[in-house]
Structure 1
Amino acid sequence: MTGHITVVGLGTGDESQLTLGVWRRLQEASPHIYARTGRHPVFAWLQENGIAFTTFDHLYERHDDFEDVYASIADELLALASADPQRKIVYAVPGHPMVAERTTQLLRECCPEAGVELAVLGGESFLDQSFLRLGFDPIEGFQLLDATRLGAKLLNPQLHTVIGQVYDAFTASDAKLALMDVYPDDYPVVVGHALGVEGEERILRVPLYELDRVEGYGNLSLIWVPRSDEESLQNRSFHRLHEIVEILRSPEGCPWDREQTHASIRKNFIEETYEVLETIDDDDPDAMCEELGDVLLQIMLHAQMEQETGAFTVYDVIQGLNEKLIRRHPHVFGTKEADNADDALANWQAVKDEEKAKKGVDTAQVSRLAGVPRDLPGLMKAWKLQKKAAEVGFDWDRIEDVYAKIEEELQELREAAGADEEEARAELGDLLFAVVNAARFLKADPEEALARTNRKFVARFSYIEQKLQENGKSFDETNLEEMEFFWQEAKKVSKNSLS
């Protein structure tokens, strides 16, 4: 080894929190003591006792990012240790060296490669004071999180949560926003300043929305979010949804849910999907939120049925999806590039082809029409089949040719309509298929086009119903001529509303 560094923890309060071993090491090492920061209650007492030290506070002013500060500290310590292998350097940090202390981790990573011997001596961490001063037992369930890296996905309301590294009001504000994704705005939280430091300790209980209005944030500040089993908090979590579906399908659950199979609720999936599409067409976010939940329930039920057989769980579904999304977006998660949507789709298709090859599928032998779901709605399936055929050149050259084909199929339908019912149905299908071709040339999704016409029909027919009601009439008391009059009136009303 070419040098020696010992990291010691100073505790979070005054000198009474120093361990005897750390105190002796500090006495032996002076003046070769280096402190991450001099802003700690112990250092005034060290000076009174003739213990000399150097701080790295100047690095905080030199860098804008904490990670850069910590990297610079580690680099300087390694340089000092390497310059004089006989010198036993002591590096002093607040609290415990292995609790929320990034520089210790950097030294653990770098010292072996640099040939520097590293030792770590513990000290009382801010967690000890948290348990003592805030009065909760971590055995009930506890997590420690970093305020500078806080995100809703890390939060679990069933655990006591202590948030460290709350250096200032800006950090507290970021923490508040992350917490509000999980907890109600008025959820009670506790802010602790300088816990265990006589004359400086402050403990404040505030509603969550006031978290960043508290004064006094600094190096010795933390936030405690007490645990809760309140159902409203659990209902925002995915694991609670999984638990509820498990209960519904259990022997003690719902008789109806227990009896369902993939086949019995197949139609539900289709219906719920179309209800979501309706909310999209209506531009109704509240209804969309509810209907998306109904679709998610269908996914959970199908996954739960397979979990009961041991085939897979919903977490396997999520894992497979995550891996596929990363794999098929090499321009986002890899080294490939995509300057536009066409490039992105090309990357997606290339990865998809690679996946098939790995499974032993010879893409050259696969039909060009493969990959179109069997049970798609007819118009949508026709559109996709035609699009795939067009990719290899099997397509009309001009839309005028498509119009001619529509006229041809219409004439064949007229001829078959009065003669053969089965042939008429076949000719009707040919006519619809030709109309889909026209939609494709016009770059109009036929399903969407027909859906718009359906909505228009409903609106105009509803107008007829309204006018009849205003006139005190029923459908039995009107005729086609009067209904046509109201229909034309509805067309004028809709045109005026758009102008």
Structure 2
Amino acid sequence: MHQLTIIGLGAGDFEQLPIGVYRKLKQAKKICVRTKEHAVLDELANEGIQFESFDAMYEKHEDFLSVYEEIVETLLKYIESEDVIYAVPGHPLMAEMTVQLLIEAEKKGQVQLKIEGGQSFLDAVFGALRIDPIDGFELVNGTTFSIHQVNMYKHLLIAQVYDQFSASEVKLTLLEKYHPDYPIKIVTAAGSKDEMIRTVPLHELDHVAEINNLTTVYVPPVKDKKDALREWSTFREIIKTLRSPDGGCPWDRAQTHESLKRYMLEEVHEFLQAIDEQDDEHMIEELGDVLLQVFMQAQIAEDDGYWNLEDILAGVAGKMIRRHPHVFSDVQVESVEDVNANWEKIKKKEHQNDDHAEPLLKGEYRATSSLQTSYNYQRRAAKVGFEWPNIDGVWEKVAEEWQEFRQEIENGTQETRLDEFGDVLFTLVNLARVYKISAEDAMLHANAKFAKRFGYVEQQVIAGRKDFKDYSLEELDKFWQDAKQ
């Protein structure tokens, strides 16, 4: 088996070709290129460097995968008799399916690869657009991407937009989220002397003449929430804002799981009515209201420190995968009845497993902080419903434990006093949790505040009579009050 070396030709013209790559191409005996449509290859041909192009294979097949598979098959055949250099546009590991197929062949022992250099087209595109990828970007294949993969708040780069037809498909996909006049940029031949950038509204994407195999479509991040109303994170942020203590809505902030129960019921019934009426517009509206209730309930729980929307998604997604082994595993079913039977069997097994599940509080102990441990225990218990139905119950429990502690101070032993005082602290931690206060942080703050104020008192004592016992409690308290000022 001979060596197959894969070389990237870069994203620009001949002047940007690395000298090392140029030398390898000059010395090579057998060179294959995926396509001759590259500025560098024109210059190499003028210098007398010969290469075999696979462009003809594109005419033989109806889909790209078949083309790429034949290219790989041909290369594997060539290396049976000689070393081969395979040159591709850009960087070999960037948006190059033939290279990925060759890597799979390498894993099977069919080829020994050496992959070298070549500037990625991304480098050239970032430079042309003057954008910093650290802000977050997504690179997608224009022939296969789904709008569900797109985050409208990130830079979006769409490769493999090589003609009007592919541009039309990309446009239709983007219109599922973006409005028709949303400004996009069409970048062609980035990094070369023929570089061209044109800004057009989205609806004109497939009417631009400069689209070819060197084209990348850039969709800038959305800045205004009103332009991203089809983005899930936008709706989540709206709900969070409504419940925000700073500038939110008093009504939304006042809602609880219990207060929203009747609204959830009303919205579901209204959606069912829209189904009966076969009114699509009404169904969209009413299902949106149901979704509002779901997001509100999740936000309330997140605000209270119990659970969040991701917990809901993880729970239901895991359940769907477990209960559909005929879809996500190798279980065979013949009918709907088989599906139902499997569902009930799996459901029963899940409940049986619940009895042998790990203790809920396992992993919540913190040796470094009894306050944090107390918070963790009570938060975990609240997640499964072991919680007061309203805040009044928490306050009543604090008062009850305080009274029991005072009784033990008067009549109890040191051991019972210790026990009851622990209950007082435990209920205070729970009270802090309900009001979204970190008991640990509160205690750290109180300790720091005491140390600072007592330090001032100590300074006054030293500056005056030198000894604490020379001052009355009233005089020391005067220093304390001064420190508070």
TM bucket by the smaller chain?
Answer: 0.5 to 0.7
Q: Does residue 306 of the first structure (1) align with residue 301 of the second (2)?
A: yes
Aligned to 1:66: 64
Give the secondary structure class of the aligned counterpart of 1:144: strand
Q: Does residue 232 of the first structure (1) align with residue 230 of the second (2)?
A: no
Aligned to 2:20: 21
State the alpha-carbon separation in 2 of the partners of residues 351 and 64 from structure 1. 44
Among 251, 262, 265, which residue is 1:256 paired with?
251
Identity of counterpart residues, as a percentage?
A: 43
Shift of 1:342: 4.1
Shift of 1:160: 1.9
Shift of 1:335: 4.1
Among 206, 219, 226, which residue is 1:212 paired with?
206
Shift of 1:201: 4.3
State the alpha-carbon separation in 1 of the partners of residues 64 and 83 from structure 2. 27
Query: Which letter does structure 2 place at the counterpart of 1:61?
Result: E
Shift of 1:58: 3.0
Equivalent residue runs for 1:110-121 within 5 Å? 110-114=105-109, 116-121=111-116
Aligned to 1:33: 31
Aligned to 2:460: none
Shift of 1:33: 1.1
Shift of 1:264: 2.1
Shift of 1:181: 0.9
Assess, with a 3 A threshold, how the Cα gap between structure 1 residues 117 and 307 changes in structure 2: closer, same or farther: same
State the alpha-carbon separation in 2 of the partners of residues 120 and 347 from structure 1. 49
Q: Does residue 223 of the first structure (1) align with residue 223 of the second (2)?
A: no
Equivalent residue runs for 1:21-420 within 5 Å? 21-29=20-28, 31-81=29-79, 83-84=80-81, 87-114=82-109, 116-198=111-193, 200-252=194-246, 253-336=248-331, 341-359=336-354
Determine if contact 1:74/1:106 at 8 Å carries over to the other structure. Answer: yes
Query: Which letter does structure 2 place at the counterpart of 1:98?
Result: L
Determine if contact 1:78/1:114 at 8 Å carries over to the other structure. Answer: no
Assess, with a 3 A threshold, how the Cα gap between structure 1 residues 102 and 350 changes in structure 2: closer, same or farther: same
State the alpha-carbon separation in 2 of the partners of residues 72 and 320 from structure 1. 44
Query: Which letter does structure 2 place at the counterpart of 1:125?
Result: S
Assess, with a 3 A threshold, how the Cα gap between structure 1 residues 23 and 182 changes in structure 2: closer, same or farther: same
Shift of 1:51: 1.2
Aligned to 1:10: 9
Shift of 1:183: 0.5
State the alpha-carbon separation in 1 of the partners of residues 135 and 295 from structure 2. 30
Which sections of structure 1, spanning at least 5 residues, go unmatched? 362-499
Which sections of structure 2, spanning at least 5 residues, go unmatched? 357-485
**Aligned residues, how many?**
355
Shift of 1:47: 1.5
RMSD: 2.5
Shift of 1:194: 2.7
Shift of 1:232: 1.5
Assess, with a 3 A threshold, how the Cα gap between structure 1 residues 297 and 197 changes in structure 2: closer, same or farther: same
Determine if contact 2:10/2:118 at 8 Å carries over to the other structure. Answer: yes
Give the secondary structure class of the aligned counterpart of 1:206: strand
Give the secondary structure class of the aligned counterpart of 2:6: strand
State the alpha-carbon separation in 2 of the partners of residues 322 and 161 from structure 1. 27
Assess, with a 3 A threshold, how the Cα gap between structure 1 residues 158 and 50 changes in structure 2: closer, same or farther: same
Aligned to 2:459: none
Deviations 1:177-196 (A, max 9, x none): 11001110111222233334
Assess, with a 3 A threshold, how the Cα gap between structure 1 residues 233 and 338 changes in structure 2: closer, same or farther: farther
Assess, with a 3 A threshold, how the Cα gap between structure 1 residues 65 and 357 changes in structure 2: closer, same or farther: farther
Query: Which letter does structure 2 place at the counterpart of 1:208?
Result: L
State the alpha-carbon separation in 2 of the partners of residues 16 and 170 from structure 1. 32
Shift of 1:348: 3.1
Deviations 1:153-192 (A, max 9, x none): 1222222211111122221111111100111011122223
Deviations 1:322-342 (A, max 9, x none): 232333334444445556544
Query: Which letter does structure 2 place at the counterpart of 1:111?
Result: E
Deviations 1:261-310 (A, max 9, x none): 22222222112222222323333333332222221122122222332444
Query: Which letter does structure 2 place at the counterpart of 1:4?
Result: Q
Assess, with a 3 A threshold, how the Cα gap between structure 1 residues 138 and 339 changes in structure 2: closer, same or farther: same
Aligned to 1:375: none
Assess, with a 3 A threshold, how the Cα gap between structure 1 residues 68 and 311 changes in structure 2: closer, same or farther: farther
Determine if contact 1:328/1:352 at 8 Å carries over to the other structure. Answer: yes
State the alpha-carbon separation in 2 of the partners of residues 310 and 70 from structure 1. 52
Q: Which runs of 4+ in 1 moved over 6 A?
A: none
Determine if contact 1:331/1:347 at 8 Å carries over to the other structure. Answer: no
Give the secondary structure class of the aligned counterpart of 1:321: helix
TM-score by length of 1: 0.65
Query: Which letter does structure 2 place at the counterpart of 1:67?
Result: L
Query: Which letter does structure 1 place at the counterpart of 2:214?
Result: L
